[in-house]
Chain A
Amino acid sequence: MRSQLVLLLTLIACGVISTFATGMNPYYYDILVGIGINIILATGLNLVNGYTGQFSLGHAGFMAVGAYGSSWLTLSYGYILGSSSIAITTGYVIALLLGGIGAALAGLIVGIPSLRLRGDYLAIVTLGFNEIIKGIIQNCEALGAQRGLGGMVLHTNFFWTFAFAALTVYVVVSLVNSTYGRGFLAVKDDEIAAEAMGINTTKYKVLAFVLAAFFAGIAGGLYAHFKQFIHPEGFNFIKSVDIVVMVILGGMGSTVGVCLAAVLLTILPEFLRKVSHYEWLPDWFRHVAENRMILYSLLLIILMLTRPQGLFGVRLARKK
């Protein structure tokens, strides 16, 4: 009951802040919405990679399904409920949800191989699915193929982004704290033992995949209706790695940590962008700051070498 109350209060707060946020500096607003979208993506993925101990490297693929699905819906049927602003907004939210459901279906398809595969293999299969989804979009004329899809109306605002982010966090947290949560953790700690104890590992793994994909789909829809232009290359392997890094940095299996990491890693590139323009810094330093991906990858390596449990995570059990 308490958590529902927190969720409700957060939603109200989002609504209140949103009315003030419209007058905000658009650049900060852009970053803020980016943070919200990344929180949804990372907390969702945390359910798979963190709590259930599976490894998905194809989260951007689900995001693509949601982004393209909802965009196609709003572009083709945006005015089906009428042209009043309430009708259009309702249409937008329905499109978001349907996009999420589409992504969840894709998650179901990807979740099934996860029943037979683990670790590295699973990582590669999810990566493969990501490429396949991208390939399908690139060959689909109705979705703009390799040209990208544009013309979506700007619907996504602070409220919708953070309302969905709060909802995601709520669902993940309450799920993890329920008996389901024990199931996820059991799958992560020792799958074979869990099965022996009568836990239906299949159910937990597929559930984690489907939910994570659903939220990724929602995030994709939010993204598409914020940037108003989407391109298949925007949902590639690198984007998937971005999300994985958030989960790892925050600490797999720590929702708070992952949310903080999402905030940090959304702001960091923009901060480095600023740093690279400080003329009093040595040239090489500015160059490195300009090449954010170098720092990003170094961060990943150093983190793994020194603190593999992430900034806020609990250390993974050592296995033989």
Chain B
Amino acid sequence: MKTLLLSMLATAGLAASLFAADEIVVGEFASLTGGNASFGQSSHKGTQLAVDEINATGGLLGKKIKLITEDDQSTAGQPATIVQKFISQDKVIAVLGEVASSKSLEAAPICQQNKIPMISPASTNPKVTEVGDYIFRVCFIDPFQGTVMAKFAQSKGWKRVAVLTDVKQDYSVGLAKFFVEGFKKNGGEIVKEQSYSTGDKDFKAQLTSMKSLKPEAIFLPGYYGEVSLIAKQAKLLGLKCPLLGGDGWVGDSLLKVAGNSLDGSFFSCHFSAQDKSPVVQSFVEKFKAKNGAVPDDMAALGYDSAMILAEAIKKAGTTDGDKLREAIAATKDHPGITGSITLDEQRNARKPAVILKIADGGFQFEQAVAP
């Protein structure tokens, strides 16, 4: 009986190790439900597309990638548990995630302690990669984007700008801070700083108090859900100045909700679905075919995070944590959807930002700003 049991165990173990041998396991954690679900869903779709593509073309190092996706339900406490599971149960070689910086910050120390590389698609808080040398990101960070928009506003000749921040989003607060710093440094004047919280639906109070100061533009570094409503209400209130924003603006419902009230506004982002470059166009086509919608920035970043990992595995020729880390750190001029990506010494992506103008119910390419 005992020998039977032992031999069964041995076979099972052998089977498990054989099974594991032809797969590279990658863990992905995202907010698939809960408050941040729209971003998590998007980035997950992008990541999944990249993995499917890699597997369809024969995988990596002769093995298929197995993507294990876990939902953290937008809930604090979950990312840490999930990453522990990834590392000890699923034996992942790398971790992808999250969009929200607060979730990434929870997972990063564990990845660092276990020497498992982690690539965040869209956590823009500078602190994330400061956790350690195993933590990377493929998006640019808040200071860069805030400064880019401050310069842009000045290049348009605007002197008096108001700022409306989403205080619940660290991303928004960060962007606003660096925008204000950059704008003031070159002699601009911030006429009013106002704020709102994620999930708000009525912004007439803030907009009313701004209207009386007649700003030349309003910097609005929030997410599209609220931005579209703000734009609509601003227009209705008779605020005619253009709005300026960041990559959080990109979302399926932005123009659907805002209608033409965003016409003449500008925002910085990672990529433009209108970009004629073949890399972007083929990505947009594939994404549309699979998900029936135009990809947004989160999807593009999710895709890039998986692709950069794949390229690093190929280059390293192994999935060993140390070598893989070095290979990711050495990423240079990766032809990503969100531009040519180089990871700097701080493990942040250096890549151009794109400034788009909204006109006639669509996005128009305005200019690219190199880092």
- Residues of A participating in the B interface, judged by any CB pair closer than 8 Å: 25-31, 34, 138, 146-148, 150, 223, 227-231, 233-235, 238, 270, 273, 277, 290-293
Contacts and interface: CB of A to CB of B under 8 A. Distances in A.
Contacts of B68: 277
A290 B109 contact: no
A231 B76 contact: yes
Given A27-B87, A147-B170, 4 more contacts: A30-B84, A229-B80, A229-B102, A233-B35
Residue in B35, B87, B105 whose Cβ sees the most chain A Cβ within 10 Å: B105
Contacts, number: 80
B73 A146 contact: no
Contact of B168 (A34, A146, A228, A230): A146
A199 B181 CA distance: 63
Contacts of B168: 138, 146
Interface string B65-95: 0001011011111001100110111000000
B87 A292 contact: no
A277 B81 CA distance: 17
Interface string B310-328: 0000000000000000000
Interface residues of B, number: 31
A146 B196 CA distance: 13
Contact of A146 (B33, B81, B167): B167
Nearest to A294: B33
B24 interface: no
A233 B75 CA distance: 8
A148 B102 contact: yes
Contacts of B73: 292-293
A41 B102 CA distance: 24
Contact of B81 (A27, A150, A228, A293): A27
Interface of B: 32-33, 35, 68, 70-71, 73-77, 80-81, 84-85, 87-89, 101-102, 105-106, 109, 114, 125, 127, 167-170, 173
Residue in B73, B77, B84 whose Cβ sees the most chain A Cβ within 10 Å: B77
A277 B77 CA distance: 21
Secondary structure of the A contact surface, majority rule: helix
B99 to A, nearest CB: 14
B71 A229 contact: no
B75 to A, nearest CB: 7
Contact of B102 (A223, A231, A273): A231
19 contacts: A27-B84, A27-B85, A27-B88, A27-B89, A28-B88, A30-B85, A34-B81, A138-B168, A147-B102, A150-B106, A150-B109, A150-B127, A223-B77, A228-B109, A229-B76, A231-B102, A270-B85, A273-B85, A293-B33
A128 to B, nearest CB: 17
A152 B105 CA distance: 12
Residue in B73, B102, B114, B127 whose Cβ sees the most chain A Cβ within 10 Å: B102
Contacts of A34: 81
A270 B81 contact: yes
A231 B75 CA distance: 10
A290 B127 CA distance: 31
Contacts of A29: 84
Contacts of B127: 147, 150
Contacts of A228: 80, 106, 109
